[in-house]
């Protein structure tokens, strides 16, 4: 595991750039990064992992231009101040990690904060074809309107954020995958506020998964909902020091 302060503050892949990683026998080194920055990693190792702590969200930009192609066993695209991925970018991997200051899922009826990464329909479709996907927000993951995330073919979905927030009164938010994990690896602020939406999070056991819903480590808040349901076909597991407020 490599550990240290982030030295890269901006990563830009210009239009048409193509990067492919060849699978090998040597495992990739894990990354533990402190502070603001940006990371784009294309690895031939599906188990290549990273964690970032101490993000102030003041610096760090990652941008993938039109027609960019990334091919590997695992992909990580992350920044602490602004992540932009063109709709025409082609992302091909078994394991995805997408990180941004804030992530939004659904259809945007109004303009979003400049630091928000909206998961467009093309990006969501590519994520749904992966075996595992991690959405890492250094603040909240916001669900806009009646939002759906994941599906029966996704083996594992990890939501890594301080707060899961339904933004629309009366909306239904449906999150599901074979295994689901809710965590807050960056230590982002966690908030829980009442609302009238319904949030359903289910570990279905599909895609050859075990059907486990794991909470933690970290503090996770659920905001904007009057009802939050956690379902697992096998078990609900608490990992490490965990707090869930809804």
73-130: pLDDT as tens digits: 999 999 999 999 999 999 999 999 999 999 999 988 788 999 999 998 888 888 888 9
Taking phi over 0 as left and psi of -120 to 50 as alpha, with beta for the rest, 224 belongs to: left
E strand or H helix at 149, and its extent? strand 147-150
What is the percent of the chain where pLDDT is above 90?
A: 83
Distance CA 57, CA 60 (A): 7
- The strands making up 156-160's β-sheet, listed across from edge to edge, are 38-43, 74-79, 95-100, 132-137, 156-160, 179-183, 212-215, 235-238
Higher pLDDT pick, 110 / 147: 147
pLDDT tier, 142 (very low <50, low <70, confident <90, very high otherwise): very high
In eight-state DSSP terms, residue 134 is: E
Q: Is the pLDDT of residue 25 over 70?
A: no
- Sign of CA pseudo-dihedral 143, 82, 96, 244: negative
Backbone φ and ψ for 121, nearest 5 degrees, come out as: -60, -45
């Amino acid at each position: 595991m490599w550990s240290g302060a982030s030295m890269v503050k901006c990563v830009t892949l210009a239009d048409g750039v193509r990067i492919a990683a060849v699978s090998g026998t040597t495992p990739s080194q894990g990354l533990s990064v402190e502070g603001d920055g940006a990371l784009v990693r294309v690895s031939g190792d599906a188990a290549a992992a990273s964690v970032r702590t101490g993000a102030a969200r003041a610096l760090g930009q990652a941008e993938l231009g039109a027609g960019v192609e990334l091919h590997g066993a695992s992909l990580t695209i992350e920044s602490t101040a602004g992540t932009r991925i063109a709709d025409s970018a082609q992302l091909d991997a078994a394991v995805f990690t997408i990180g941004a200051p804030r992530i939004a899922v659904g259809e945007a009826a109004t303009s979003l904060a400049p630091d928000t990464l909206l998961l467009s329909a093309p990006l969501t479709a590519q994520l749904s074809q992966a075996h595992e996907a991690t959405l890492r927000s250094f603040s909240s993951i916001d669900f806009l309107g009646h939002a759906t995330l994941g599906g029966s073919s996704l083996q594992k979905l990890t939501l890594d954020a301080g707060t899961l927030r339904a933004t629309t009164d009366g909306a239904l938010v449906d999150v599901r995958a074979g295994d689901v994990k809710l965590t807050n690896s960056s230590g982002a602020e966690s908030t829980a506020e009442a609302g009238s939406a319904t949030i359903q999070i289910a570990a279905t056991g599909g895609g050859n998964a075990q059907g486990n819903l794991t909470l933690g480590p970290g503090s996770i808040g659920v905001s904007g909902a009057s009802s939050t349901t956690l379902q697992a076909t096998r078990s609900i597991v608490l990992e490490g020091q965990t707090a869930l407020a809804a």
